[in-house]
Amino acid sequence: MRVLFFAQLKDVTGCDAIELELSSPLNGEQLWARLAEQFPGLLAHRGNVRLARNWEYADARTQFAHPDEAALIPPVSGG
Amino acid sequence: MEIEIELTHLPVAEKIFPPPTAGAHGAWLEFRGVVRGEEAGQPIAALEYEAYPEMAGREIRRLLETLAIEHPCLAARVIHRIGTIPVGETAIYVGVAGQHRAEALALLTEFMNRLKQDVPVWKRRAVPAAAPRQSAGATSPEALRFLDEAITEIQTRCQPLPPVRVPLEAAPGRVLREAVCAPEDLPAHDRSTRDGYALLADDPAKTFQVVDTLHAADWKPRPLKSGEAMRVATGAALPCDGLRVVMQEDVERNGATIKIIRREAALNLRRRGEDVRAGELLVPAGRRLTAGQLALLATAGCTRPLVNPRLRIGHFTTGDEIIPPDQVPQPGQVRDSNSCLICGLLQPFPCDLVQSHLPENFAAAKQLIATREPQPAAFDLLLVSGGASVGEKDFTRPLLEWLGFETIFAQVAVRPGKPLIFGVNGHRVAFGLPGNPLSHFVCFHFAVATALARLAGESGPQFLRGRLAAPLNEAANPRETLWPAQLTMADGELRLHPLPWASAGSVTCFAEANALLRVPADCPALAAGAGVDFLPAGGMLGA
C-alpha cells in the first residue's frame, strides 16, 4: 500500500511516499505504529495529523489495505 | 448546483465567467485570495503552495455540496493555483452564482472558512523578497544566487512586451494577451447530425409531405406543421425549434412523400449552444496558443487576437577556439554547437533570431558590434555564449555593461551553469551563458525560457513532480544540480531516467535529455522510486 506524505512531513521522512507491505488490513492505530517504526520523527506530529484513505479523511473505523492509497495530512493552509 | 473545480500551476485569468445557470442567477459573487507581500513580518516575493490534488478536488466539491444544503446556490467555480505564486497574484478564486445575494454571500464566507480547515493544500514556503539593491550582500551583482532566487529575479525583472493584434495565421505559439469569450451560442442553431428528414419531435404521423430541402449551408427559417418534413443534410441548420431528424435509412421515399419505417429515440441533432453559450470563456489570457485553440478562435470569429509581438533575439558566440561546424578542427579548436543549440531551443517561441560570432578581443568585438546592423538596441533579448567566467579574455560582463545593461547577477549556485550573467536595460534583457553546451542547455531551460515566457506574457516554466526510474548515486555537491534525464510515461506516472553525465563539457547526454532533475544541494543519493522535481526540457518544453 502506498502512503503519501505532504508539506512538513516530507521534511521529516525525506520522501513524499513509501510502499508498505501489508499482510492484513490495519486500522489507524496500527498504521501509525508501522510508520513510527520507520520514521520515529513522525510521532511528534501525530497530535495534529489526520489520516486519509483513498482521498477521504479516515475515521476511527477505517481499515487500510492494499491497494488503498493512504495519506498523512498535516494541518492545511490553503486559500 | 453546477460545480467546476480547477487546481492549476498557471496564473488565474483576469476575467472569469460563471458556469451556466440558464440566466437564473441574480447574484454572481467573486472572491480572490491574493498573495500578500509579507509573511510573518518579513517581505516576500512569492509563496509556494503544495496540494494533494486528487483529494483537494474531492474535498472542495464535498464542502460546496454540504454548504449548498443550507445555502442553496445555482453554481460555483473554484480555482486554486499551486506552485510558486508571486506577490499580488491570485492564489484562490471562488465564484458563486445564486438567485439572490444573501445565500451566495453566506456560502462563499462559510466555504472560505472551511477550506482553511479541511482542504489538503499547504503554503509550503515563502520566497524571501530581494532586499533593496543598495544594501550590501545578498543582492549585489557579485553575490551568488540560489536557483529559486535567480528565477524569481528574472520573473520580476522581465516585463511583458506591449501586445499586438495579428491575423490567426501569424498567431501559432504566441501568448494570448486577452481572454476571448464566445460572441454567440455555438452552434448558433440546432443542427442535424444525420442525412435524413426533419419533422416535429412529437409528430405521431406515419407519412409526411416533403416541403423543402436543406443543404449544409442553407438557412431557411420556417415553422413545420404536423405531417410536414424537410429533407436535411448533415450539418444543416434546422428551420425552427422542437424538431427531430429521422435518418434517411429509416424512411421509404415515394416522390414528395416519405413513410417512416423505424423511429429511433435519438433526436439526431446538435442543440444550439451545446458546445458553448454566448459569453462563456473560450481561451483565457496567458495561454501559448495551440492549433486547437486557434481553431476555436477562428470558429468564434476572433480573427485578430491580441498576442505578444515576435521577439527580436540577438545571439553572439565568442571564443577564438570556436570554428564553424562545417570545418575540420585543428588541435585546440572545437566546432560551434551552441549556435544551432540555441536556434533549436528557440523553435517553440515565435521570434526573429540574428546570430553572429565575436572575436576574442574586447576592443575588436566592440568595433564589430558598433559597425554591424542590426544594432543590439534592436533586440528584446540578447544572448552571449561563452566568456562568462572571470578569465582574462572573458569579457561578456564588461561587454553587456558597455551596451548599457545593468548586471543583476553573475553567479548562480547551480551545477552546471554557475557563471550565468543576467542583465537588464529598460525593458531589454541579456544573458551571458557559460560556454559549455550542457551549461547552455541547463541555463536556457531555467533562465532564458523564464525570460522568454515573461516577455511574451506567460508565467514561465514550472517544476513538475515525477518519480526516479533508477537510483541516482552521486557524491553530495554543495550546489543544487539540474541533472539531465529522460522522461517517460509508465503506468500513469511520469518516470525519470537520469542520464550519465561527467562534466559540463559533456555533449552526448543532452541529445537524449527531455527533462532536468532538480537534485538538492548536499543530497548524497536518491533511491529509485523517490519523488523528484523536474523541469521539462528540449522536446518537452511547453508540455
- Enumerate domains of chain B plus CATH numbers: 2-128 (3.90.1170.40), 147-161+309-456 (3.40.980.10), 164-185+275-307 (3.90.105.10), 191-270 (2.170.190.11), 464-540 (2.40.340.10)
8 Å CB contact of B55 and A6:
no
Summarised one tens digit per residue, pLDDT across range B393-432 is 788 999 999 999 999 999 999 988 889 999 999 889 999 9
Q: Which three cell numbers stand for residue B529?
A: 522510486
8 Å CB contact of B80 and A78:
yes
Cβ-Cβ contacts under 8 Å, B55 against chain A: 52, 55-56, 71, 73
The DSSP bridge partners found for residue B232 are B196, B214
pLDDT surpasses 60 at B21:
yes
Q: Tell me the fold of A2-73.
A: Ubiquitin-like (UB roll) (3.10.20)
Cβ-Cβ contacts under 8 Å, B115 against chain A: 78-79
Q: What's residue B543's pLDDT?
A: 35
Q: How far is A75 from chain B (nearest CA, A)?
A: 8
In DSSP notation, B175-235 reads: BB-S-EE-SS-BSSS-EESSSEEEEETT---SEEEEEEEE-TT--------TTEEEEE-TT
Q: How far is B116 from chain A (nearest CA, A)?
A: 6
Q: What CA–CA distance (Å, rounded) separates B487 from B498?
A: 9
pLDDT surpasses 50 at B132:
no
8 Å CB contact of A79 and B58:
no
Four-point Cα dihedral B209, B213, B218, B223, nearest 10: -10
Across residues B37-63, what is the average pLDDT? 90
Across residues A62-77, what is the average pLDDT? 94
Region of B266 (left: φ > 0; alpha: ψ -120 to 50; beta: rest) is beta
pLDDT surpasses 60 at B542:
no
Q: Are the beta carbons of B26 and B102 closer than 8 angstroms?
A: no
The DSSP bridge partners found for residue B412 are B145
Q: What's residue B84's pLDDT?
A: 82
Cβ-Cβ contacts under 8 Å, A6 against chain B: 50, 52, 120, 122
Q: Are the beta carbons of B312 and B378 closer than 8 angstroms?
A: yes
Q: What CA–CA distance (Å, rounded) separates A21 from A42?
A: 19
Q: What CA–CA distance (Å, rounded) separates B46 from B380?
A: 26
Which residue among A19, A74, A79 places its CB closest to the CB of B116?
Answer: A79
Question: What ranges in B29-99 are assigned the alpha helix state H?
Answer: 53-70
pLDDT surpasses 90 at B526:
no
Q: What CA–CA distance (Å, rounded) separates B37 from B95?
A: 24
The DSSP bridge partners found for residue A5 are A72
Which residue among A15, A52, A76 places its CB closest to the CB of B117?
Answer: A76
- Read off the pLDDT band of B12 (50, 70, 90): confident
Summarised one tens digit per residue, pLDDT across range B236-286 is 999 998 899 999 999 999 999 999 999 888 899 998 888 888 888 899 889
pLDDT surpasses 70 at B115:
yes
Q: Is B406 on the interface with A (CB under 8 A)?
A: no
Q: Is A17 on the interface with B (CB under 8 A)?
A: yes
Q: How far is CA B453 from the centre of its chain?
A: 9
What percent of chain B lies above the pLDDT cut of 70?
96
Q: Are the beta carbons of B194 and B493 closer than 8 angstroms?
A: no
Q: Is A20 on the interface with B (CB under 8 A)?
A: no
Cβ-Cβ contacts under 8 Å, A74 against chain B: 122
Q: What's residue B525's pLDDT?
A: 83
Q: What's residue B135's pLDDT?
A: 35
Exposure letters A16-47 (e unless 16+ CB within 10 A, then b): bbbeeebeeebebeebbebbeeebeebeeeee
Q: Are the beta carbons of B25 and B18 closer than 8 angstroms?
A: yes
Secondary structure E strands in B348-435: 351-357, 381-385, 406-409, 414-415, 421-425, 428-433
H helix or E strand, kind and range, residue B6: strand B2-8
Q: Is B521 on the interface with A (CB under 8 A)?
A: no
The amino acid that residue B86 corresponds to is P
Across residues B194-216, what is the average pLDDT? 93
Summarised one tens digit per residue, pLDDT across range B214-249 is 988 888 889 999 999 999 999 999 999 889 999 999
The nearest alpha carbon in chain A to B531 belongs to A16
The nearest alpha carbon in chain A to B533 belongs to A16
Four-point Cα dihedral B5, B8, B13, B15, nearest 10: 0
Q: What CA–CA distance (Å, rounded) separates B21 from A73?
A: 35
Q: What's residue B540's pLDDT?
A: 47
Q: What's residue B392's pLDDT?
A: 66
Exposure letters B96-121 (e unless 16+ CB within 10 A, then b): bbbeeeebbebbbebbeebbeebbbb
What percent of chain B lies above the pLDDT cut of 90?
58
Q: Are the beta carbons of B245 and B198 closer than 8 angstroms?
A: yes
Region of B399 (left: φ > 0; alpha: ψ -120 to 50; beta: rest) is alpha
Q: What CA–CA distance (Å, rounded) separates B62 from B78?
A: 13
Which residue among B119, B122, B530 places its CB closest to the CB of A6?
Answer: B122
pLDDT surpasses 70 at B303:
yes
B110 phi and psi, to 5 degrees?
-65, -40
Domain map (residue ranges) of chain A: 2-73
Choose among B523, B420, B462: nearest CA to B46: B462
Q: How far is CA B182 from CA B20, B187, B278, in A?
A: 13, 11, 5
The nearest alpha carbon in chain A to B530 belongs to A15
Q: Which three cell numbers stand for residue B276?
A: 458553448
8 Å CB contact of B122 and A52:
no
Q: What's residue B475's pLDDT?
A: 67
> What crossing angle do the helices spanning B449-456 and B147-157 adopt, rounded to 10°?
30
The nearest alpha carbon in chain B to A14 belongs to B530
Number of Cβ within a 10 Å radius of residue B165: 13
Across residues A8-35, what is the average pLDDT? 91
Least confident of A20-29, B203-212, B387-396: B387-396
Average pLDDT, chain B: 89
| Greater model confidence, B524 or B99 | B99
Cβ-Cβ contacts under 8 Å, B80 against chain A: 78-79
Across residues B111-140, what is the average pLDDT? 75
B296 phi and psi, to 5 degrees?
-65, -45
pLDDT surpasses 90 at B141:
no
- CA angle (B71 as vertex; B69, B74 as ends), nearest 5: 90
pLDDT surpasses 70 at B138:
no
* Residue B531, burial from CB neighbour count under 10 angstroms (0-12, 13-18, 19+): middle
- Read off the pLDDT band of B130 (50, 70, 90): low
Q: Is B36 on the interface with A (CB under 8 A)?
A: no
Summarised one tens digit per residue, pLDDT across range B463-504 is 988 889 999 887 678 889 999 999 988 877 788 999 988 766
Q: Which three cell numbers stand for residue B181?
A: 469569450
- CA angle (B528 as vertex; B524, B532 as ends), nearest 5: 70
Q: What's residue A2's pLDDT?
A: 93
- CA angle (B168 as vertex; B295, B541 as ends), nearest 5: 75
Q: What CA–CA distance (Å, rounded) separates A50 from B38?
A: 29
**Does residue A67 have a cis bond before it (omega within 30 degrees)?**
yes
pLDDT surpasses 80 at B133:
no
Across residues A36-57, what is the average pLDDT? 93
Q: What is the pTM of this model?
A: 0.62
Distance separating the N- and C-terminal Cα atoms of chain A: 31
- Read off the pLDDT band of B119 (50, 70, 90): very high
8 Å CB contact of B120 and A16:
no
Cβ contacts of residue B17 below 8 Å, gap of 6+? B181, B279, B280, B281
